[in-house]
Amino acid sequence: LSSCRNKLNASREIAPVTLPNCRLIKGIETGSEDIDILPNGLAFISSGLKYPGIKPRAPDKPGEILLMDLNEDNPRAKELRISRGFDLASFNPHGISTYIDRDDTVYLFVVNHPHQKSTVELFKFVEDDNSLVHLKTIQHDLLYSVNDVVAMGPDSFYATNDHYFFDFILMFLEMFLGLNWSNVIYYSPKEVKEVATGFYSANGINTSPDRKYIYVADIFDHNVHVMEKHANWNLTHVKTLQLDTLVDNLSIDAHTGDIWIGCHPNGLKLMYSSPEDVPGSEVLRIQNILSEKPEVTRVYADNGSVLQGSSVASVYEGKLLIGTVFHRALYCEL
């Protein structure tokens, strides 16, 4: 059991790190699990995730994709309309990723868990209309417990399976036994294959700005893996950066290559989430991950009094958005 407690960082308490110019975003009450910001400052936010073992705030409310324009002085989150024919009632969005095609079409990939299954939904973003047009639902036997995706083309991506089992009891058993059965899958219409394995619980995934490296966060192993991408889409391990927190989603600063991570200081509090002992939030920035000595900075930390269960941190021109699994979202000016 002690190894399980270690994986969850069950006894960790954190010292606060505050930022001067932060406010909670109006209209986000049921999570902002993943955030992806386009080069023009439009931020997509997935909200309303219902995940096995974590009690949702609004169990009957379907999930949604929100949009914020970070160029505005006082940006607000607006729900994007989704085209007809898509089953909104069972929409349960998790990790997201955007891809801009050569003709400037914006594609949004969304991990979805309708009826306890895993799919990846592909949408086209129509900016004039503030809407998403649903193009297709991607389902595959190798995509069985998808957590996050990173788009590699208009219809291809890497995805993490965070567990071998999707059933909560078996999932817990898997963690308890320390099985390294979590993996990364490459998907394209032409081929689908496992490209990396041996993770304890692969979670967030993203790519370096030059797209030569893929970064994978292993939440219960408290680390980030750097993988080299090859011409056949296979990945090979370059290095692992060990951290003292549960690392969730990874965001990349396109200009500097810095990795921003939403983290859970204490996983036990996240899972139990009792009103008396709420889960905290932590944001790390990693600079020069490929160097001998990457620089890790704690940019923000809170005991849950402001923000509970941070899962992502994304930057755009001096602005920082911090999202959560099931709570609110914070907008900060750095």
* 94 classed as catalytic: yes
Of 100, 113, 109, the C-alpha closest to 157 is 109
Report the distance separating Cα 22 and Cα 333, nearest Å. Answer: 7
Report the distance separating Cα 150 and Cα 225, nearest Å. Answer: 15
| Gyration radius from the chain CA atoms | 18
Contact 58, 77 (CB under 8 A): no
Joined together, the tokens standing for residue 253 give 């600063």
Q: Which of 94, 163, 222, 264 is catalytic?
A: 94
**Could you give the count of Cα atoms lying within 13 Å of 194 in the half-sphere of its Cβ?**
13
Report the distance separating Cα 82 and Cα 110, nearest Å. Answer: 12
Q: Which residue has the tokens 């208009």?
A: 154
Query: Is 34 part of any known ligand binding site?
Result: yes
Query: Is 249 part of any known ligand binding site?
Result: yes
Cβ–Cβ contacts within 10 Å for residue 128, how many? Answer: 5
Cβ–Cβ contacts within 10 Å for residue 239, how many? Answer: 15
Amino acid letter, residue 133: V
Cβ-defined contacts of 123-129 (< 8 Å, 24+): 123/65, 123/82, 125/44, 125/80, 125/98, 127/42, 129/81
> Which residues are catalytically annotated?
94
Numbered residues of the known binding site for Ca(2+): 33-34, 96, 147-148, 203, 248-249
